[in-house]
Chain A
Amino acid sequence: MNKFRSYYIYTTVVLISLIYIIRLFQIQVLDDKYLNMAERISLRRQTVYPQRGLIFDRNKNLIVYNEPVYDLMVSVPIRLKGIDTLAVCKLLEIDKKEFIKRLNKSKRSSYRGKSVFTKNVSNLIYARIQERLYEFKGFFFEIRQDRNYKYNSSAHVLGYLGEVNRSELDKQKEGYYEQGDFNGKKGVERFYEENLRGIKGEKYFYVDKFGVNKGSYKNGKLDKSATDGNNLILSIDIDLQQYGEQLLNNKMGSVVAIEPKTGEILALISSPFYNPANFNIQNRGKYYGKAIKDPTKPIFNRAVSAPYPPGSTFKPVMALIGLQDGAINANTHFGCPGYFKLGRRIIRCHGHTYNTSLTKSIESSCNTFYCNTFKSMMQLSKYENTEEAYNSWRTYLQSFGLGSKLGVDVSGEYRGWLKDASFYDRMHGKGRWNYARIISLSFGQGELGLTPVQMANIAASIANRGFYYTPHVVREIEGLENIPERYLTKNYTKISPLNYDPVIKGMQAVTRSGTGSGVAIKGINIGGKTGTVQNPHGKNHSAYMAFAPVEDPKIAIAVIVEESGYGATWAAPIAHLMIERYLMPDSVTESSRPYLEAKMKNSNLIPIKYRSQRDTSLYGN
């Protein structure tokens, strides 16, 4: 009997062993549920962020570089056993209640087993916690790259970074971005995002129950290293840019300077501006609200977004159209009695000699000459009616890039105002308007609005005698053969090169003996045109457009100073100081006219009503 009993027991041992071996086969080999669970628990994927491309000015001065920001993360689910929460609170400068609140929030928003506990920890606190991090198991830092700036300058050109938002995440096709990533929101940061951002890498590793890295997955076979972004060389001359910013300090307005031969923007200033460092990831939260509240609109990029009637700076263009269209020729003279009579209306002119030639009309900014030119163009027999003549006039302007976006690589570009004929049809009735209704367009008033960059582009087109390259701030993308194609193609105006000569002569006269002569620069032959733009809301806007040297143009510039007065008083001096600064490297540190320079730098032309509402911390460091 006992022998059988022994066999029963042996059989039991064998049976149990078999049951276990089969059960093991089931959970280890057949069922991959456990493998998936194990990887979910202990496998982590970490993105390796590339260094974002650096940004330099045209002379390879470093402008924008990367600076790490630290996010304090917790692994979820976190076990707080053995963590001195009081010490964590103390280091983070929060109380226990806040600590628990954040922890609960982290637990709710668990994102791939980790979640942000404190965003953008300051360097000081980072250093303090990092030292004791081993005590706080489950807490770790994630480092992301924020931007910092060598110069308190060029904020509107450079733009800024921000976290990718929901719709960007949803819309992206390649799936590059993850929640929490930064991308360029404005300026070149946005335009050249795909060049600057580089290629992300990734790392797979195991973590222990505290979320501490326990070594790579499959010896790093799946890991990919990151490829840094391309550096960007801008066409901006940081010295000229900063100089212009100093001149525009405490003024509302804009300067755009272009190299006519290439369309490269040398300086693009919108004032008031702000310190770009105040708008990086770490600081923007603090300053954005202030900037929004400021009535002088420091975020608004006047250089590309604000349409200003060009005023008298438009006259050279009007002269070019008149010449090209046959309304006038180089020898045309109009008599100016000091006004232009339009039925019972009178358009006043300035005091100058009666007999006005084309050159003289530019030099002395004669309204009558342009009213007459415009009138005769509108009445040319080759046009059936005013509408057709107007459309022809409009087409000339379009060939200068007006009425549509130029395609500048600066954020917020506006197309300006250039109405088509239907606008006047709606206003006055079809066929019921003639030149008299729109005569003010001839001297740059009325329904015409140019952004400063469009104005500068006109100066560049005149300097080039009939063509322009689309203005752009990118000069070179390192690692790429070329900048975008659209910045390398010539755009021709509909004016033949010969017609530019008399106009340029007139513009030269402006700076020799005309409205801009007060600020002429010895040794530089400048072609310019002042403008005083009527402003129904306050003082006139001061405007100026110029290029130099006339023989071999190296810079074309447009300046607008809002609510300040005559073109010759503010805009022209600022433009000339900048031209001098750019063309005469010898006087880089010292202007030939220190008095004028000081006057420009120190004048506060911000309307008094706004002054008290400005927050100066936005502009400084």
Chain B
Amino acid sequence: METRSRIDIVSLLLYLCIAILGIASVYSATSDQGLYTLLEGRSGKQLMWFGVSIFLGVIIFLLNANFFEVFSWYFYVGLMLLLVAVLFVGAEINGARSWIRIGSFSLQPAEFAKYGTAFAVSALLSSIGFSFSKKGDLIKMAVVILLPMVLIILQGDTGSALVFFSFILVFYREGLTPLILILGLVAILVFVLTLVFGTLYFGVGILLLFLVFFAFTYTNKKFLLPSISIVILAVLFSLSVQFLFNNVLQNHQRKRIEVTLNLIEDNKGAGYNVNQSKIAIGSGGFTGKGFLNGSHTKGDFIPEQETDFIFCTIGEEGGWLASSFTIFLFASFILRLYHLAARAKKKYKRIFIFSLASIIFFHLLINVGMTIGLMPVIGIPLPLVSYGGSSVLAFGIFIFTALRMDATRDEDLISTYE
């Protein structure tokens, strides 16, 4: 039977739309009053990396569809070695030793590590006999995720390391107990409440909650022990939050969290970026100030504007129309990728595509969230839009690999649905 391998046009178009948006934004953020053309400077470089991405995309489509699955672990191990190597031969930029210089280019292995880890996770989870109820498998899973995280934290790039938490969504989707997700969310909630109200008020509050709960259920003794232990655990965690906050986090991280929670106002120090970013976006109005006309963008008030804070340029120059359109594009792209994952017949492919979508979602959540003050400042790029060759290239081949897998789904046997 002749099977056609067809690329998913919707995803490709969304990819191209986001890419064009990115190049235009980088151009606006870096070209000083339009003194350069689009092809010069950073927008030119950005364009070049998209060219390279598409070139590699073509190559990916020429490869056998099963090539990736076979070499999954080689990719992973190779990238882990690169992460180790960067610790020794890396060039330090902005306090993070995460770059490898090759000639006039610098590559950031951490950006490619997500790609590599997605292979490993897909291979591991789709391996025969894998089960979330096996302790050994869980440990393997944890190691696959934690290894790159630790290596990246050692480089001094905590933001990029946090991205690996997006794999928890994948695990959840594949059957990991939701308890971990719920616990994680509860932990974040306790963390925030403790910082905002203090351990004492938090303890009193949860105790009152318990008493109300107890008043309704005191006849049923079986709820008593678990609920008391939950209260004790929560209070203990709350107690440790202060310690964690003050001793584990670095000063600038503490400040960023405090600024996000409105505990301190520091518009000149830790809150400078966020404040300027909010001003830039907020001043855009409904339709924006016009392309290349953003006064805050032109005025260079926002550090890292063409990289992590690129969303400011869109918000300021394109107003609410452009900023919400950007989010709409991303949401569509993510949902489309989830759709591709869902229609995959092979578990391996499903997990791989799902990983990609989850990683992009995590980036969107954090990056846009921090520019509008809903998330603490965590230095990760807006995929395909933020300036940065490694990021553009890594996401590019990640996406093309996923599309390659999707394109040949008809060749795959229908996998058993769990």
Number of interface residues of B (CB under 8 A): 45
Which A-chain residue is minimally distant from B316 (CB atoms)?
A: A38
Q: When the two chains form their complex, are residues B338 and A31 in contact, meaning their CB atoms are under 8 A apart?
A: no
Candidates B33, B296, B320, B369; contact of A215 at CB < 8 Å: B33
Q: When the two chains form their complex, are residues B331 and A38 in contact, meaning their CB atoms are under 8 A apart?
A: no
**Distance from A29 Cβ to chain B, minimum over Cβ atoms (Å):** 5
Asked if B298 CB lies within 8 Å of chain A CBs, one says yes
16 examples of A-B residue contacts, CB within 8 angstroms? A1-B175, A6-B338, A9-B173, A13-B331, A13-B334, A14-B335, A16-B364, A17-B330, A20-B327, A21-B328, A23-B372, A24-B324, A28-B282, A28-B320, A31-B282, A34-B281
**Distance from A26 Cβ to chain B, minimum over Cβ atoms (Å):** 9
Q: When the two chains form their complex, are residues A42 and B282 in contact, meaning their CB atoms are under 8 A apart?
A: no
B369: A residues at CB distance < 8 A: 20
Number of interface residues of A (CB under 8 A): 37
Q: When the two chains form their complex, are residues B285 and A28 in contact, meaning their CB atoms are under 8 A apart?
A: yes
Asked if B172 CB lies within 8 Å of chain A CBs, one says yes
Q: When the two chains form their complex, are residues B331 and A28 in contact, meaning their CB atoms are under 8 A apart?
A: no
Asked if B412 CB lies within 8 Å of chain A CBs, one says no
A28-B315, A28-B320, A29-B320 known; A21+B327 contact, CB < 8 A: yes
B335: A residues at CB distance < 8 A: 10, 13-14
A33-B282, A215-B33 known; A38+B295 contact, CB < 8 A: yes
**Distance from A18 Cβ to chain B, minimum over Cβ atoms (Å):** 9
Which B-chain residue is minimally distant from A214 (CB atoms)?
A: B298
B283: A residues at CB distance < 8 A: 34-35, 37-39
Which B-chain residue is minimally distant from A17 (CB atoms)?
A: B331
Whole-angstrom distance between the alpha carbons of A224 and B300 in the complex? 27
Which A-chain residue is minimally distant from B173 (CB atoms)?
A: A5
Q: When the two chains form their complex, are residues A10 and B324 in contact, meaning their CB atoms are under 8 A apart?
A: no
Q: When the two chains form their complex, are residues B372 and A27 in contact, meaning their CB atoms are under 8 A apart?
A: yes
Of B299, B364, B418, chain A has the most CB atoms within 10 Å of the CB of: B299
Of A2, A13, A23, A33, chain B has the most CB atoms within 10 Å of the CB of: A13
Whole-angstrom distance between the alpha carbons of A29 and B323 in the complex? 12
A98: B residues at CB distance < 8 A: none
B324: A residues at CB distance < 8 A: 21, 24-25
**Distance from B352 Cβ to chain A, minimum over Cβ atoms (Å):** 15
Chain A interface residues (CB < 8 Å from chain B): 1-2, 5-6, 9-10, 13-14, 16-17, 19-21, 23-25, 27-29, 31, 33-35, 37-39, 41-43, 206-210, 214-215, 217
Whole-angstrom distance between the alpha carbons of A206 and B298 in the complex? 9
A14-B331, A20-B369, A206-B295 known; A38+B282 contact, CB < 8 A: yes
B169: A residues at CB distance < 8 A: 9
B418: A residues at CB distance < 8 A: 2
Whole-angstrom distance between the alpha carbons of A24 and B285 in the complex? 10
Q: List B164-205 residues whose CB lies under 8 Å from chain A.
A: 169, 172-175, 178
A-B pairs with the 4 shortest C-beta distances?
A34-B282, A38-B283, A208-B299, A17-B331
Q: When the two chains form their complex, are residues B319 and A28 in contact, meaning their CB atoms are under 8 A apart?
A: yes
Whole-angstrom distance between the alpha carbons of A34 and B280 in the complex? 7
Which B-chain residue is minimally distant from A28 (CB atoms)?
A: B320
A43: B residues at CB distance < 8 A: 295
A215: B residues at CB distance < 8 A: 33, 298
Which B-chain residue is minimally distant from A205 (CB atoms)?
A: B295
- Besides A35-B285, A43-B295, A214-B298, 17 more A-B contacts (Cβ < 8 Å) are A2-B173, A5-B173, A6-B342, A13-B331, A21-B327, A24-B324, A27-B281, A28-B282, A28-B323, A34-B281, A35-B283, A37-B283, A38-B280, A41-B301, A42-B295, A209-B300, A217-B295
Candidates A1, A17, A31, A206; contact of B328 at CB < 8 Å: A17
Asked if B284 CB lies within 8 Å of chain A CBs, one says yes
Whole-angstrom distance between the alpha carbons of A37 and B174 in the complex? 48
A217: B residues at CB distance < 8 A: 295
Q: When the two chains form their complex, are residues A24 and B299 in contact, meaning their CB atoms are under 8 A apart?
A: no
A13: B residues at CB distance < 8 A: 331, 334-335, 338, 361
Whole-angstrom distance between the alpha carbons of A105 and B319 in the complex? 39
Candidates A2, A21, A42; contact of B301 at CB < 8 Å: A42
**Distance from A114 Cβ to chain B, minimum over Cβ atoms (Å):** 15
Q: When the two chains form their complex, are residues B278 and A34 in contact, meaning their CB atoms are under 8 A apart?
A: yes
Q: When the two chains form their complex, are residues A214 and B286 in contact, meaning their CB atoms are under 8 A apart?
A: no
Whole-angstrom distance between the alpha carbons of A259 and B334 in the complex? 93
Asked if B228 CB lies within 8 Å of chain A CBs, one says no
**Distance from B274 Cβ to chain A, minimum over Cβ atoms (Å):** 12
Q: When the two chains form their complex, are residues B320 and A25 in contact, meaning their CB atoms are under 8 A apart?
A: yes
B368: A residues at CB distance < 8 A: 20
Q: When the two chains form their complex, are residues B296 and A42 in contact, meaning their CB atoms are under 8 A apart?
A: yes
Q: When the two chains form their complex, are residues A27 and B175 in contact, meaning their CB atoms are under 8 A apart?
A: no
Asked if B374 CB lies within 8 Å of chain A CBs, one says yes
A2-B175, A20-B372, A209-B300 known; A35+B331 contact, CB < 8 A: no
Of B327, B342, B364, chain A has the most CB atoms within 10 Å of the CB of: B327
Which A-chain residue is minimally distant from B360 (CB atoms)?
A: A13
A27: B residues at CB distance < 8 A: 278, 281-282, 372
Whole-angstrom distance between the alpha carbons of A27 and B330 in the complex? 20
Whole-angstrom distance between the alpha carbons of A455 and B319 in the complex? 75
Which A-chain residue is minimally distant from B284 (CB atoms)?
A: A28
Asked if B249 CB lies within 8 Å of chain A CBs, one says no
Which A-chain residue is minimally distant from B342 (CB atoms)?
A: A6
**Distance from A154 Cβ to chain B, minimum over Cβ atoms (Å):** 49
A35-B283, A209-B300 known; A2+B331 contact, CB < 8 A: no
Candidates A6, A10, A19, A214; contact of B295 at CB < 8 Å: A214
Q: List B356-411 residues whose CB lies under 8 Å from chain A.
A: 358, 361, 364-365, 368-369, 372, 374
Whole-angstrom distance between the alpha carbons of A20 and B300 in the complex? 25
Q: When the two chains form their complex, are residues A207 and B299 in contact, meaning their CB atoms are under 8 A apart?
A: yes
**Distance from A601 Cβ to chain B, minimum over Cβ atoms (Å):** 64
Asked if B234 CB lies within 8 Å of chain A CBs, one says no
Asked if B279 CB lies within 8 Å of chain A CBs, one says yes
A2-B173, A9-B173 known; A208+B300 contact, CB < 8 A: yes
**Distance from B146 Cβ to chain A, minimum over Cβ atoms (Å):** 23
Q: When the two chains form their complex, are residues B334 and A5 in contact, meaning their CB atoms are under 8 A apart?
A: no
**Distance from B374 Cβ to chain A, minimum over Cβ atoms (Å):** 6
Which A-chain residue is minimally distant from B338 (CB atoms)?
A: A10
B173: A residues at CB distance < 8 A: 2, 5-6, 9
Q: When the two chains form their complex, are residues A5 and B172 in contact, meaning their CB atoms are under 8 A apart?
A: yes
Q: List B289-328 residues whose CB lies under 8 Å from chain A.
A: 295-296, 298-301, 315, 319-320, 323-324, 327-328
Whole-angstrom distance between the alpha carbons of A23 and B330 in the complex? 17
A9-B173, A214-B33 known; A29+B286 contact, CB < 8 A: yes
Which A-chain residue is minimally distant from B365 (CB atoms)?
A: A16
Candidates B172, B374, B417; contact of A23 at CB < 8 Å: B374
Q: When the two chains form their complex, are residues A20 and B374 in contact, meaning their CB atoms are under 8 A apart?
A: yes
Whole-angstrom distance between the alpha carbons of A208 and B298 in the complex? 7
A207: B residues at CB distance < 8 A: 299
Of B282, B300, B361, chain A has the most CB atoms within 10 Å of the CB of: B282
Whole-angstrom distance between the alpha carbons of A34 and B372 in the complex? 12
Whole-angstrom distance between the alpha carbons of A13 and B328 in the complex? 11
Q: When the two chains form their complex, are residues A24 and B279 in contact, meaning their CB atoms are under 8 A apart?
A: no
Whole-angstrom distance between the alpha carbons of A223 and B327 in the complex? 37
A10: B residues at CB distance < 8 A: 335, 338
Whole-angstrom distance between the alpha carbons of A34 and B275 in the complex? 9
Whole-angstrom distance between the alpha carbons of A27 and B320 in the complex? 9
Q: When the two chains form their complex, are residues B323 and A42 in contact, meaning their CB atoms are under 8 A apart?
A: no
Which A-chain residue is minimally distant from B339 (CB atoms)?
A: A10
A208-B298, A209-B299 known; A17+B281 contact, CB < 8 A: no
Chain B 334-358 interface mask (CB, 8 Å, partner A; 1/0): 1100100010000000000000001
Q: When the two chains form their complex, are residues A28 and B281 in contact, meaning their CB atoms are under 8 A apart?
A: yes
Q: List B252-287 residues whose CB lies under 8 Å from chain A.
A: 278-286
Which A-chain residue is minimally distant from B321 (CB atoms)?
A: A28
Whole-angstrom distance between the alpha carbons of A150 and B112 in the complex? 75
A9-B169, A24-B320, A29-B286 known; A41+B296 contact, CB < 8 A: yes
Of B278, B295, B358, chain A has the most CB atoms within 10 Å of the CB of: B295
Which A-chain residue is minimally distant from B298 (CB atoms)?
A: A214
Q: When the two chains form their complex, are residues A37 and B284 in contact, meaning their CB atoms are under 8 A apart?
A: no
Q: When the two chains form their complex, are residues A206 and B372 in contact, meaning their CB atoms are under 8 A apart?
A: no
